[in-house]
Amino acid sequence: MTVLVEGGKYCSFKVGELLFGIDVQDVQEVLRYQEITRVPLAPPVVRGLINLRGQIVTAVDMRRQLNMEDRPAGVMPMNVIVRTREDPISLLVDEIGDVIEVDPEGFEDIPPTVSGVVRELMSGVHKLSDSLLLVLKTERAVSIC
């Protein structure tokens, strides 16, 4: 797993209006909506389990992880399957973006205006021409599982 992320290539995705990036080396694959089987008594951020070609994968809802409102009814999430130390985990996100290559010199600390859960899940930011790319700490984002 990437411990210190400063530059390189990121798989980007949106959750609400926020643009996140995960080091491409941490991403196994990106999938459209998959059928989710609910798990009784699971934490609220765990939406359930998906069957990924015979492998059972936990699906973590990033909207819930970030304390955002749930998706409107009928809007299906996308899956970013990430590698973790144990098993792959699916991050349920709103929209998949492109692979973005950034300059390591553009990496900055988390701005002081960012607080709460978002701050805990980030390692830093990259300024893009039209937005900020929030670099996600993958292991922290899935730590509830």
Total count of domains within the chain? 1
Domain carrying residue 111: 8-141
Considering the domain boundaries, does residue 113 fall inside one? yes
- CATH at residue 93: 2.40.50.180
Considering the domain boundaries, does residue 3 fall inside one? no
Considering the domain boundaries, does residue 102 fall inside one? yes
Asked if 90 and 76 count as a contact pair (C-beta separation under 8 A), the reply is no
pLDDT of residue 120: 86
Asked if 135 and 125 count as a contact pair (C-beta separation under 8 A), the reply is yes
Largest CA distance in the chain: 46
Considering the domain boundaries, does residue 2 fall inside one? no
Per-residue model confidence as pLDDT tens for the chain (145 residues): 333 445 689 999 999 999 999 999 999 999 999 999 999 999 999 999 999 999 999 999 999 999 999 998 889 999 999 998 888 999 999 999 999 998 888 888 888 888 788 888 898 899 888 888 999 988 888 876 4
Provide the token pair at 71. Answer: 């998706």
If phi over 0 gives left and psi between -120 and 50 gives alpha, with beta otherwise, what is residue 54? left
The model's pTM is 0.88
